[in-house]
Each structure stands twice: as C-alpha cells, then as structure tokens.
Structure 1
Amino acid sequence: MRICLVCRALPDSPDEGVGAHALSMSRALSAAGHEVHLLTTPHPALEQTRALLPGIHLHTVPSELTPGFAGAFPSPPLRHSMAVYLALRELHASHPFDVIEFPEQEGEGYFSLRARRTLGHFASAVLAVRLHGPTHEARALNRVATMDMDVAQVEHVEDTSMRDADLLLSPTRALLEQVGTRLKSEARGVVVPPPFVARSNASPPRRTQTPRPRVVYAGRLEYRAGLHLLIDAMQSLFERGVDAELRFIGDDTETGPFGRSLRGWLERQVAPAWHERIHFDSALPDAELAAAFAATTVCCFPAPSGPAPDTCLEAMSSGVLVVGDDAGGLADLIEDGRSGLLFRSGDVGQLAATLEKALALPLLRETAQREAPLRVADLHAPARIVKQWETAVEGVAHVRNHVLPRPARERSDTPRVSVLLPYFNMGRYLPETLRSIRAQTFTDYEIILVDDGSTDPESIELLDRVQAPDLRIIRKQNGGLSSARNAGLKVARGHYILPLDPDDLIAPTFLEKCLTVLEGTPGLGYVTSLVTYFVEDATHVTGGWAPWGVERDALWVANVASTCTALMRRSHLEEVGGYDEWLTGFEDWDVFCSLAERGLGGSVIPEPLFHYRLRQDSMTRTSMVGDRPPLMAYLRQKHPRLALHPERSLCILQGEALKLESLALARAAEAVPRPLLDKVVDRVNGTLKRFDFVHHALRGVATRVVGTEDASRPLRQQLMDRLRGRR
C-alpha cells in the first residue's frame, strides 16, 4: 500500500510522543514492504531526520499560506491544518494514497477530513485518525476548568476530526471507549498499540545496588499521571517503617492547581520527615535513564491515561518490575503477577500495599526481570503492530471512492433554490453581486430582491434597469434586515434558501457544492464555506474566516456557525419562525441557534466560496457597535437550552471577558498617567479578588498577555511592572 503519515511534531520538537510514533510507525510500515510517505513541517534538523528514514519519502507542508488568505486562520493549529490539506491535495494527485493517517492532536487532519466529507477529495484513500490524548480528555484529567474560544476551537477541530475519520486507531481500549462514548462517533475504532523497539538492543545493564530500595517514576510531571497518589502511598509506607526512597525523573508542567507548577505542588505534599527520601530530577538522556533503571527496584506509573509511556516500556524492557493502575493503558500490557503488578485505579491504600509487596518479594522482581522484556517485545513488536494496522485498514476499505452525487443543474418550473437579497441603498454593489449569482454552475434558482424602502435615488433607479426573468423585485417600507428577509421568504418558491447581502459575492460553484452536501448528508441544517474578505476587488484578499459549523457550547458565546450566507432548507427556516424582527443584528446567529436546538448540524466546505465585502459604513461597523451587548444578552436569554454543557459555555464566556479586560488594561497603560494607572489597577485588582476564581483565571490570562509569571509577586504588582515596561 501507499501510505502517508501526517505529523507536525518530529522528535526534535517539543511534542516527543506524537513525533516518536510517526517515526517508529513509518519505519515499521516500510520494513513490511509498504511505500511510506511522511508529511511534516519544515525545521532545521529536517535533513538529519531524513537520514534516519532510509526508503521513506519525506515531504513538508507550505511554510506560509497566501498572505491575505492566511488571515482566515488566526491560530497556528488552524493554519497548519490548512497547509496540510493543500500539501496533501498535491501529493495525492501525483501518487494517490491508499491510507492517510493523522494524529488527533490540534486537528492536523481537520480540513482534509472535511474536504473528504464535502468535496470527495482523497476518495481513494482510507482516512485514519490516531489517538494520542485528545485535549478534552487531557484537560479534564488535569482538572483544568478555565477556557476561552481558542481552547474551545482546538477541542472542536480535534473532535470533528475524530468524528469524520473513516478509522480511529487507539493505543488502548480504555482511551477508545472513553472517546467513543463522549463523541458518540460512528467511525470504526480499533486498538493498535504503537510499535516499540528498546533504545538499546544490547542486554539490559547490570543491576546496581542503592543504599535503599528505590521506587521510580519516569515521565512528564502532570497531574493526570496520578503522582500525588504515589507520594501519598509511599509516605504511608515510610510511616509503617518501610525503608525505601522515591525518585521522580521528568520535566515539570503547569498542571498544578490553577495552572501552577505541578512539581512545586507535589513537593508541598511531602512531609518534612520524608524530604530526604523523595527526590525530583529533570528528564534524563537515554543513557542516563538506562543507568537509572539499572538502579531501580520498582517503577510505578500510577495513572497513565493513554498508552503505556515509552519510559514504562523502556523500564519493562530493562527487566524492572512495573506497578500500574488497572484502568488505563497498562492493563492491556501488564500480566498481573508475571510481567508486572496492577492495583485498583485511584486506590491509594491498594497502591501502597502493591508497592510494599513489590519491594518485599524478590521473587516477583526476578519474574518480572525475565517476563517483562518478553511481554513488551511480543505486544509491541513492529511486525505484529503492522499486521494489526493492516487488518484495521482492510476492515474499512469499503469507504473508499465514496463521493456525494452532484445535483442536476438544469432549470425546472419550480426553482430548487431561492436566493434572498435584502436591499437598501446598495445600488453601487448590486450589479456585481447579481453577476456572481448568474455565474453559478448550478442554474436552477430564482433571485428575490427585497427593496427595504431605499431612499437613494440612484439605488432606486437601478432597480428598473436590472429587471430580468430570473429576478423578482419586492418593494416594502423599511423594516430592517430580518423584515426584508422574511418578506422574501414568504414569496420564495425554492426548496432551499440562500440569504445573500447585495454587496457580497459567491464563487461559481457555491450553490452546486453546498447543495451536494446538503442533499447528501443527513441531519444538516445548513451548509456554508470558508470566507475571504475583500474591499473592492474580490481577487485581492485582505483576510477571512473559517466558520466552525455547529458547536453548541461555543455557539452560545459567539456566532461560530456561519455568516448569513448559508444554504438552508426552506422548511427548516420556516419551522424556526424565519428571522426574528425584534433583532437589529445577529439575526443569522439567532437562526443558527434555533437550528442547533432542533438537533440539526452545520457543514463547512473547506474552500473559500463566499467573498465578504468590508465596508466602513456596514452595520457591523456602525449601528451594531453599541447594540452588541444587549443583542447578545437577548440571544442568550432566548436560547437557554442551546448549550449542551452550560458550565463549559460559561467558562468560555468568562475566558473571553478576562482576555478583553486584560487587553483593555494593557492598552490603557500606554496613555494613562502613572498615578491614575495606580488607581485603575487597584480598582480592577480589588474587584477581582472578591471573586477568587476570576482572580486566578486573570493571572493566567495576564501571564499570556504580558509575559512569564513570577509566582512570588502578587497579580497587581506583576501587572503594574509589566505595564510600566519593567521586568
């Protein structure tokens, strides 16, 4: 088979785990006779990486998107996902792949998978997503509650990728069940552990003696790893007279309480009497880690949430007795009492008892020294993993070549699509908008223009000159956007409705592609596309936007669904009561909320088929500026049941508010005299301290805005120093 593995993070980058898997899996697949391609990002050590992968085709994504178009993807993960999609289209065209595999992290395959679902791209390939540890699960296990739209979008692109995949590959049963239950995913899920070859092919180093028996944890210090359980268990053993020591080997993370150092929090859990028995060291190079395992009596991994960490596999390959919990990835690996020991997940008392047994019984350690390396070599042997992977791919081979049927393009007596144009003094732009409609490849439409009481003589006169068989003009007194759209909806004959403002443009394939998706995908309320911004010439792109589709928790906070220009079934629009005429703006957001409340989804074609004109006199830049807060309050009150997880929506809302407050404070500092600035900061800081959870959240936000936090100083002093230009 011809296979492409996509992975931004190769081993010289910060995300070692995902990159290490891509390298080991590409080697294993190549050794089995497959043609393997690896798509990654440009980086300084790329040629060194290429030398490590003989026979494997290494490709890189574009380092930059088209400048204007890049503005549609404000976050690095989103830009990278689009770059992956563009690169894959070229690669797949030159030598079609049988399988393309993406990691779920940060949605590397987000746009490629959407293109498969909406445009039929990569139809000859199985699109697989491999689980490493989705952001949603990682945040929950690390007890991270703060959130903003950036985090919500990362979770959205990951979740959408997992839902859209033809095949989900998971390292463990536990992770697959957890993700499948949460997402209710229809994708076929299969457990395929990562291939593993011990870093040293030589015999394990000779065991060395230490003054005390030593229990070791090796890996990143994260809350979800359950290291506090290990500390509690070991201290209870010390109190019972067990003569041993505990060593942590790994780099710190900010997964302690409210984004603080986990190592600092763990060190505070150690009673003064046991300070000399519990040690913390940074991550070690391979050779030093092997020496550390040689001096280890027992290795403990109290709560690995995903696959068995590489450090665990290294320890077992070295013949060290490993103790792990029975609910995560180690339950698939360890044969209790033979290749290691398992304890009941989360039970500190049983963990202590299991560690005591491991330390006290040499026979258990001798058995593990013999059996653990054999177990790892068996379950994670590259040849075995490739066979499992091949079987999983063959199980979904039937999904290949599935392309949605294109709708018929011919006109009929009753048009299938009604394009609604609300019109008020827009004569300057209307002819270009009409030309973009009439350039459509799908021609079974009607255009309904609703003149909402125009007062500009030229705009009124223009309506007499644009009369045409495909255009129906309705005149009414001025009532606003919602009123104009409802007037058009009442006389529309089309089965589908496309609202379009008379200054915006649609690409020639907009109707055809949106209709294909809407008719071929059950459960959709609307279909739209990526958006580009322009001022006068649509070919001169100045920015853009990538709508999410329906994400109900985020939709309660902001309109992530679409612009007003989305193709909808007329029956759905009528069922929700059309456009709310009480609203002076956000009427499209209101409709998307209503569709979502009825369980209908939204699909976004990953091509810029809608072109939005930026005007200084547009509603969003004039009348809606002051109306925005009451409009948003009205919408949230109108749709109280929109959010599936209201507490998550409130966290997003709070995160956005804190970002805006911090930004406003930073900007104010540039112009406000120092004495007044003191008063402003004191006022804000004093108010926030009355709400402790907000104060901690703002500390994190302020850290991201103004620099690295010094935990020894209060928030007020940090803000003051940063805003005044001091470190």
Structure 2
Amino acid sequence: MGTSVPAFSFLTTAYKTEDYLGDTIDSVVAQTFSDWELIVVDNGMSDEIAAIVESRSNDERIRLVRQENKGYDGGVMAASEIATGRYIVVLDSDDQIMPAFCDTISRAFDADPHIDAIGCDAYRFDDSGADLPTGYYRSTNVKQKPDPASPLTLTDLLGGLVPYYTAAIRREAWEAVGGYDRGGEELHESVAIWIRMVGKYDIRVLPQRLARFRLRGDSMTRDPAKVESFMAELERSFAWAAPSDPKEKAALDKTLRTFRYWVFLHRAQQALLAGRDRDARTSAREAFGQRRTVRAAAIIVSVNTIPGVLRRIHPLKQRITERVAHTAGRVVTAVKR
C-alpha cells in the first residue's frame, strides 16, 4: 500500500457472515470514488472469512486483521486502530454501500469543511437480494425527514433520528469520542457515539439512500429474549443522554414510551400464540398505556373477544415482529454480532 492517506477507512468486523462478506467487500470495490481502504477483522478466527478477504489480496486497499472474538465493538475498534483514512465508516459484514456512497459524501464534506460527520438513508433488502419499498428511516417510524442543511440536534436524536450506522465521521471526532468503545457501559455503540458527538460536532444526515441494510432471516425477532434484551439496551442508551432541556426531555420520553410500547405488544403476541390469554390482555393494556394507538386498542378488543381466531390466523405475529424491528432500526443488525 502506498504512503498516501485515503479519504475513507471502512471498518468491517466479520463473525459468522461467511455467506455475505464477499458481497459487502464487492460493494466497496464498486465505488465510483476510489480513494478508500477497507479493513476486515476476522473476529473469531474463521478460515473461511480469511479466505474470502485473501481472495481479493490483489487490491492493496483491502486489509485483513485476525483475532479471537472480542465482540462487535471489539472488532470495530481493532479495525479502527490501524485505519489511516480521514473519514471513518463502520460497515457491517453483511450490509453494503451503493456505488456513489464515497463520491456523494466526499462532495458534501468538501462543500463545508466545518461538517464533522455525515449520515445517509439506506435501502432495506432481504436475503433474496431484493430491495424493499420502504427505506431505512421510514421503517423506523421517524416522522422527521433528514435535513442536510441543518446540524443534528440532541432533540432530533432523542426523537429517534439516529444516523444510520454506516456514516462517515472525521477521524479527529471519532478519536475524540472514543469511537465504538463503550467504556464498560451496557450501551448500544451506534447510539452512544452520536450522543457523545451531538452538540459538540456538526452532524448532517443526507436524504439519499447510499447504503443497503440487510434484513436477515435469522434475525433476533425470532428470539423473544433477544428482542427484550436489545430493547432494554436501547432504552439505557437513550436515557444515558440525561437531557435537561424540556424539549429534549419530551423527545426522550416519547421515544422511550415507543420502545416500551413495542415490547409490550411483542409480549402480547408471544402470550397469545402460547395460549396465555390473560397475559396477552395484560401486555396489550400495558402497550396502550404507553401509546394510546388504534392498533393497541384493537388488539385489546380482539384478545378479549376472539383470541382463538387470532391464534389461527395471527396476522398480529408478522405485524408486531416487523414493528419491533422497525422501531429499533438496527434490531436485526444486533444479531449479526
């Protein structure tokens, strides 16, 4: 590799993603802007992962680091330690970026040297490779559209407008806030880093879909314990901001209520399908207490009157499962670790 410093350093930690990693790497190689490096961490000593990276060893921009599994944040930080680029970009080993990702974001940085980080929207796609009609931000139920002309505020962030994790962050800002190092706290890395940055650094979010977010068939939505654990981690991460401004507090309260709402709906679904009608009614009422929505009210009525019918057709199952994933935004990503 030459001595010049690349514009972008992609940090990719790979663990049990042998089926996807090649496409992830290829999406970086396909960039129309070629000034980048990609550091892949084999986070678990998989010979197949190493072979996938080494099969592309003719491209000096791609480097491999091998280590025992140190967790998702440990893999990202291992890549960060040897990254040399001006902008740091985390890219999961089963997701992808669009060909214009680097070019578009580089132009945005060049247009305003005061910007410290730039996020974007993303396509969502399933294991068949097909893009879903709803993009990332719409799927998270965030009502506010990203405005690239305005810096992200803490109120925006606590209201749910968390930059999609594949964002470009100036090296100086990344290092100043510690990157994805959680400091021993049980926080979600891709939320905590923005809480540490917002208000101190100029963060922008572009409306363009410049990345592709994979919805895997083995997502955590199939495991109720993982769903609740992840949602609890999200609650801790948002609450960690400890805002003092009334608007920020109101935004945080609304978001936390939304998290709890979907958790209770998920519990109602699980109880209903298990034949525990009383528990299903209780959880549905708890959901309604967090957010007085027509959906929650309809579930309460349905569980009270026709639980047997719901168990036979249970359209509730798919709706709630999808909504839990949508609200978290990165629920599926968490399982990839």
Is TM (by shorter chain) over 0.5? yes
**1-structure distance, mates of 2:222, 2:94:** 15
Q: 1:589-648: CA deviations, max 9, x gaps?
A: 1111111142532222x3322111222345786685343244234424532248773431
- From 36, 43, 56, give the equivalent of 1:452: 43
Q: 1:320-374: CA deviations, max 9, x gaps?
A: xxxxxxxxxxxxxxxxxxxxxxxxxxxxxxxxxxxxxxxxxxxxxxxxxxxxxxx
- SS at 1:652's partner residue? helix
The Cα shift of 1:443 comes to: 0.8
The Cα shift of 1:454 comes to: 2.7
1:448–1:472 CA contact under 8 A, matched in 2: yes
- Equivalence for 1:594: 196
Look up the equivalent residue of 1:567 and give its one-letter code.
A
Going from structure 1 to structure 2, the CA distance change for 1:585 and 1:460 (only over 3 Å counts) comes to farther
Q: 1:483-523: CA deviations, max 9, x gaps?
A: 12112212111111111112211111111101211332365
1:448–1:471 CA contact under 8 A, matched in 2: yes
- From 3, 8, 11, give the equivalent of 1:420: 11
1:436–1:506 CA contact under 8 A, matched in 2: yes
- From 305, 315, 327, give the equivalent of 1:724: 305
Going from structure 1 to structure 2, the CA distance change for 1:618 and 1:561 (only over 3 Å counts) comes to same
- SS at 2:212's partner residue? strand
The Cα shift of 1:464 comes to: 3.2
Going from structure 1 to structure 2, the CA distance change for 1:530 and 1:538 (only over 3 Å counts) comes to farther
Structure with more contact order per residue of length (Cα contacts < 8 Å, sep ≥ 6): 2
The Cα shift of 1:574 comes to: 0.5
**2-structure distance, mates of 1:678, 1:452:** 41
2:166 is the alignment partner of 1:565: yes
Going from structure 1 to structure 2, the CA distance change for 1:481 and 1:659 (only over 3 Å counts) comes to closer
2:76 is the alignment partner of 1:466: no
Summarize the alignment of residues 156-235 of structure 1 with structure 2, pairs less than 5 Å apart: none
**2-structure distance, mates of 1:494, 1:586:** 24
2:154 is the alignment partner of 1:552: yes
**2-structure distance, mates of 1:491, 1:447:** 11
Summarize the alignment of residues 229-244 of structure 1 with structure 2, pairs less than 5 Å apart: none
- SS at 2:198's partner residue? helix
- Equivalence for 2:214: 613
Q: 1:258-284: CA deviations, max 9, x gaps?
A: xxxxxxxxxxxxxxxxxxxxxxxxxxx
Aligned residues: 291
1:659–1:701 CA contact under 8 A, matched in 2: no
Going from structure 1 to structure 2, the CA distance change for 1:472 and 1:633 (only over 3 Å counts) comes to same
- Equivalence for 1:577: 178
**2-structure distance, mates of 1:428, 1:700:** 40
**1-structure distance, mates of 2:290, 2:128:** 44
The Cα shift of 1:565 comes to: 0.6
Going from structure 1 to structure 2, the CA distance change for 1:661 and 1:439 (only over 3 Å counts) comes to closer
Look up the equivalent residue of 1:563 and give its one-letter code.
Y
Look up the equivalent residue of 1:462 and give its one-letter code.
I
Summarize the alignment of residues 15-414 of structure 1 with structure 2, pairs less than 5 Å apart: 413-414=4-5
1:662–1:702 CA contact under 8 A, matched in 2: no
- SS at 2:13's partner residue? strand
The Cα shift of 1:654 comes to: 5.8
The Cα shift of 1:567 comes to: 1.1
Q: 1:656-688: CA deviations, max 9, x gaps?
A: 2674477468757966889x649955x997xx8
2:261–2:291 CA contact under 8 A, matched in 1: no
**1-structure distance, mates of 2:205, 2:290:** 37
Look up the equivalent residue of 1:600 and give its one-letter code.
D
The Cα shift of 1:532 comes to: 1.2
2:13–2:92 CA contact under 8 A, matched in 1: yes
**2-structure distance, mates of 1:599, 1:426:** 33
Greater CA radius of gyration, 1 or 2? 1
Going from structure 1 to structure 2, the CA distance change for 1:529 and 1:643 (only over 3 Å counts) comes to farther
Q: Alignment RMSD, CA only?
A: 3.9
**2-structure distance, mates of 1:665, 1:483:** 32
**2-structure distance, mates of 1:625, 1:638:** 20
Look up the equivalent residue of 2:227 and give its one-letter code.
V
Look up the equivalent residue of 1:580 and give its one-letter code.
D
Going from structure 1 to structure 2, the CA distance change for 1:724 and 1:512 (only over 3 Å counts) comes to same
2:89 is the alignment partner of 1:503: no
**2-structure distance, mates of 1:488, 1:580:** 12
- SS at 1:494's partner residue? coil
Q: 1:270-320: CA deviations, max 9, x gaps?
A: xxxxxxxxxxxxxxxxxxxxxxxxxxxxxxxxxxxxxxxxxxxxxxxxxxx
Going from structure 1 to structure 2, the CA distance change for 1:481 and 1:583 (only over 3 Å counts) comes to farther
- SS at 1:524's partner residue? coil
- Equivalence for 1:387: none
Q: 1:399-457: CA deviations, max 9, x gaps?
A: xxxxxxxxxxxx982212111111223332222222211111111111112222233x3
2:127–2:217 CA contact under 8 A, matched in 1: no
The Cα shift of 1:650 comes to: 4.5
Look up the equivalent residue of 1:607 and give its one-letter code.
Q
Going from structure 1 to structure 2, the CA distance change for 1:491 and 1:469 (only over 3 Å counts) comes to same
**2-structure distance, mates of 1:684, 1:437:** 44
**2-structure distance, mates of 1:706, 1:440:** 48
Look up the equivalent residue of 1:515 and give its one-letter code.
S
Going from structure 1 to structure 2, the CA distance change for 1:721 and 1:617 (only over 3 Å counts) comes to closer
- Equivalence for 1:482: 73
1:450–1:473 CA contact under 8 A, matched in 2: yes
Look up the equivalent residue of 2:50 and give its one-letter code.
I
**2-structure distance, mates of 1:602, 1:464:** 35
Which runs of 5 or more structure 2 residues have no equivalent in the other structure?
139-144, 147-151, 307-337
**2-structure distance, mates of 1:642, 1:564:** 26
- SS at 1:701's partner residue? coil
Look up the equivalent residue of 2:54 and give its one-letter code.
D
Going from structure 1 to structure 2, the CA distance change for 1:644 and 1:523 (only over 3 Å counts) comes to farther
Going from structure 1 to structure 2, the CA distance change for 1:537 and 1:643 (only over 3 Å counts) comes to farther
- Equivalence for 1:649: 251
- Equivalence for 1:258: none
1:412–1:444 CA contact under 8 A, matched in 2: no
- SS at 1:426's partner residue? coil
**2-structure distance, mates of 1:672, 1:621:** 14
Going from structure 1 to structure 2, the CA distance change for 1:460 and 1:595 (only over 3 Å counts) comes to same
Going from structure 1 to structure 2, the CA distance change for 1:583 and 1:462 (only over 3 Å counts) comes to farther
